[in-house]
Amino acid sequence: METWDNLQADFFDFYGQALNKLAFDDVVTLIHLLNKVNDGLKSIHLHKEADQE
């Protein structure tokens, strides 16, 4: 767990730098679109073919 705790600061710094030029409205739009993608991912149902042995 310590490794994850140490990495969190790096993640926040990395994404903070990547997103620091976005306006508030852009962030709202980004979150909205990511939520739509997340909903789409939740609705995916892959149909596996019967075991081919």
Say what the pTM is: 0.59
pLDDT confidence of residue 14: 95
Give the CB-side neighbour count of residue 34, counting CA atoms within 13 A.
Answer: 6
pLDDT confidence of residue 36: 98
User: Residue 51: which pLDDT band, with cuts at 50, 70 and 90?
Assistant: low
User: What share of the chain in percent tops pLDDT 70?
Assistant: 91
CA dihedral 46, 51, 52, 53 (to 10 degrees): 150
5-29 pLDDT, tens digit per residue, is 889 999 999 999 999 999 999 999 9
Give the CB-side neighbour count of residue 53, counting CA atoms within 13 A.
Answer: 1
User: What share of the chain in percent tops pLDDT 90?
Assistant: 72
What residue type is assigned to position 24 of the chain? Answer: F
